[in-house]
C-alpha cells in the first residue's frame, strides 16, 4: 500500500513539471525555467564570442588589385610615361579591421620632389594605410617615369573645310573666315608642346549646297606643321571648342543703268552707253542682289554729245571684284536741236502775299527738243513761273528762280536748257 501510495504521490505534479533524479535527490523543473536557462546561455555565448573577436590576436591577409599609383610633388614637370600605373597589393591585419577595409582606403604614391631636371627616374612606391593595416606584399616595389619641363605656348586657330558644294556663282570666302578666338593656349611637356603649330577646327559639310554664310561650333585638335594631330595625355588647352563664321559669297555682274531726270530723253532721241557696261561684285547673296548702279542724267544740262564720269560706290560688305572705281557714260543726241526764245508770259507764285514790283519780260531762254517741234514753238507756248516762296523774311532786291511751262503738244518733249532766275524787288507784306 505504501509503495502504491508513493507512486501515486509522484504523479500528482502539474503537466508542466518535470522530475529528475540527481543521486538520491529528485529535482522538479518547470518549462519556463528551461527557457530562461536557454536564453541566459545564448547571451553568455554571444558575449564570449564578441570578446574573443575583439581581442583576437590572429592576423589575416586581404588582397586588392589595380590600386592606382599617384604622382605627388611634380610641380613644374610633366610626366610623359609612368602615369596611370596601378599595383596589386596584399595587406594584413585583424579580421575585424580587414572586413571594413576598401580599395580606396589604400593610397599608393611616388614622390617627385627630388626631381630638378627633365629625364627618366625610378621611384620607390610608398603607401599610406589605415591604422591596424600593414603592407604584406605588392606586385611592384617601384615605378619608372619620364618627365619633362612644363611649357606653355599660344597657337593660332585654323579652320579646315571639306565636302561642300556650290551653285553657280557662289564660293566660300576662305580668306575671310573668322573665329571667336584668335589663339589657343597650350600647356604640357615641352618636347611635345614645341611641335604644336595650330589648333584646328575641322568642318564637314557632308556635300550640302552652300548658298548662305554659316556659323559653326566644334571641338579643336592640335596639329603639327604637317597637319598631323598631336596627342598627349598631359597636354591641356584653355578652350576645347571654337565658333567659326564661314562667309559664302555670291558673284554678280551689276549693269550700269541711266535714269533721265526729267524724262525728256528716250531711246528715240538719245543713245547712251556706259563703259564698263557692268561691274562684277561679290558679297553675301542678299547684299549683292540689292546692289544697283544708276547714273542720273540731267537733260537740261546736256546740250550736245558729251560724256560723264560716274563714281562706282558699293555698300559695306560688297566687294568690287574688278576694282573699277569709275565708269564713263557717253551721250549721243539724235534728232534734237536747240532754239533761243523770248518768254513774255510771266506768272508769279506768291503764297505769303508779299508786295513786289511787277516782273516784266521778256526772259530770254534756250530750249531744246525734237527738231520738228522746235520749228513750231513760239513764245505763246511758254509761260515763265516766278516763285516768291521764301523760308524767312525777305525784303529788298532778290534773285528768284524761274521755271517754265510748255503747252501741248510741246509739254514733255521740249525743255529749257540750264537754270534761270530774275531780279525782283520785295516790299513789306500787306
Is 38 in a helix, a strand, or coil?
helix
Average pLDDT over residues 96-113: 91
> Under the phi-then-psi rule, with left for phi > 0, alpha for psi from -120 to 50, and beta for the rest, what region is 236?
beta
- For residue 52, the model assigns a pLDDT of 60
Buried b or exposed e, range 343-367, using 16+ CB within 10 angstroms: bebbeeeeeeebebeebeeebebeb
Instruction: In whole angstroms, give the CA distance from residue 185 to residue 157.
Output: 10
Model confidence at 394, pLDDT cuts 50, 70, 90, reads confident
Cβ(403)–Cβ(387) under 8 Å? yes
Is 300 in a helix, a strand, or coil?
helix
Model confidence at 24, pLDDT cuts 50, 70, 90, reads low
Model confidence at 233, pLDDT cuts 50, 70, 90, reads confident
Buried b or exposed e, range 91-128, using 16+ CB within 10 angstroms: bbbbeebbeebeeeebebbbebeebeebeebebebebe
| Residue pLDDT, tens place only, 114-136 | 888 888 889 999 999 999 999 99
Q: Give the residue with greater pLDDT, 381 vs 417.
A: 381
CB atoms within 10 A of CB 40: 10
Q: Looking at the predicted structure, is the pLDDT value of residue 381 above 80?
A: yes
On the CB side of 231, CA atoms within 13 Å amount to 2
pTM of the full predicted structure? Answer: 0.57
Q: Give the residue with greater pLDDT, 21 vs 2.
A: 21
DSSP-assigned letters across all residues of 96-130 = HHHTT--GGG-EEEEE-TT--SSEEEEEE-EEE--
Model confidence at 45, pLDDT cuts 50, 70, 90, reads confident
Q: Which helix (H) or strand (E) covers residue 259, if one does?
A: strand 248-260
Q: Give the residue with greater pLDDT, 15 vs 214.
A: 214
Amino acid at each position: 500500500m505504501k509503495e502504491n501510495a508513493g507512486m501515486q504521490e509522484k504523479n500528482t505534479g502539474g503537466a508542466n513539471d518535470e522530475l529528475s533524479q540527481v543521486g538520491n535527490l529528485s529535482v522538479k523543473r518547470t518549462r519556463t525555467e528551461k527557457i530562461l536557462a536557454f536564453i541566459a546561455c545564448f547571451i553568455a555565448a554571444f558575449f564570449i564570442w564578441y570578446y574573443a573577436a575583439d581581442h583576437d590576436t590572429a592576423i589575416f591577409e586581404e588582397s586588392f588589385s589595380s590600386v592606382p599609383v599617384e604622382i605627388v610633388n611634380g610641380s613644374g614637370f610633366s610626366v610623359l610615361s609612368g602615369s596611370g600605373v596601378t599595383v596589386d597589393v596584399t595587406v594584413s591585419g585583424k579580421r575585424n579591421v580587414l572586413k571594413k577595409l576598401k580599395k580606396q582606403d589604400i593610397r599608393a604614391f611616388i614622390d617627385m620632389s627630388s626631381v630638378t631636371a627633365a629625364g627618366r627616374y625610378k621611384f620607390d612606391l610608398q603607401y599610406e594605410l589605415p591604422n591596424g593595416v600593414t603592407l604584406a606584399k605588392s606586385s611592384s616595389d617601384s615605378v619608372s617615369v619620364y618627365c619633362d619641363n612644363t611649357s606653355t605656348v599660344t597657337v593660332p586657330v585654323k579652320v579646315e573645310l571639306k565636302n561642300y558644294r556650290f551653285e553657280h556663282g557662289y564660293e566660300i570666302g576662305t580668306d575671310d573666315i573668322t573665329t571667336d578666338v584668335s589663339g589657343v593656349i597650350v600647356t604640357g611637356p615641352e618636347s611635345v608642346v614645341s611641335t604644336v603649330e595650330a589648333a584646328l577646327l575641322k568642318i564637314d559639310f557632308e556635300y550640302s549646297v552652300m548658298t548662305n554664310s554659316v556659323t559653326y561650333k566644334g571641338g579643336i585638335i592640335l596639329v603639327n606643321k604637317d597637319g598631323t594631330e598631336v596627342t598627349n595625355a598631359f597636354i591641356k588647352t584653355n578652350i576645347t571648342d571654337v565658333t567659326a563664321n564661314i562667309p559664302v559669297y555670291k558673284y554678280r555682274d551689276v549693269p550700269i543703268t541711266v535714269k533721265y531726270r526729267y524724262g525728256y530723253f528716250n531711246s528715240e532721241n538719245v543713245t547712251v552707253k556706259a563703259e564698263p557696261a557692268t561691274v562684277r561684285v561679290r558679297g553675301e547673296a542678299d547684299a549683292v542682289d540689292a546692289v544697283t548702279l544708276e547714273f542720273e542724267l540731267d537733260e537740261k544740262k546736256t546740250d550736245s554729245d558729251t560724256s560723264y564720269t560716274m563714281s562706282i560706290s558699293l555698300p559695306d560688305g560688297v566687294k568690287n571684284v574688278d576694282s573699277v572705281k569709275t565708269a564713263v557714260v557717253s551721250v549721243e543726241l539724235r534728232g534734237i536741236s536747240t532754239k533761243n526764245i523770248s518768254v513774255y508770259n510771266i506768272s508769279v507764285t506768291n503764297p505769303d502775299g508779299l508786295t513786289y514790283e511787277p516782273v516784266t519780260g521778256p526772259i530770254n531762254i534756250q530750249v531744246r527738243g525734237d527738231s520738228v517741234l522746235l520749228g513750231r514753238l513760239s513764245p505763246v507756248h511758254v509761260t515763265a513761273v516766278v516763285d516768291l516762296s521764301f523760308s524767312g523774311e525777305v525784303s529788298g532786291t532778290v534773285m528768284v528762280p524761274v521755271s517754265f511751262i510748255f503747252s501741248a503738244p510741246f509739254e514733255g518733249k521740249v525743255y529749257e536748257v540750264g537754270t534761270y532766275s530774275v531780279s525782283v524787288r520785295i516790299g513789306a507784306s500787306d
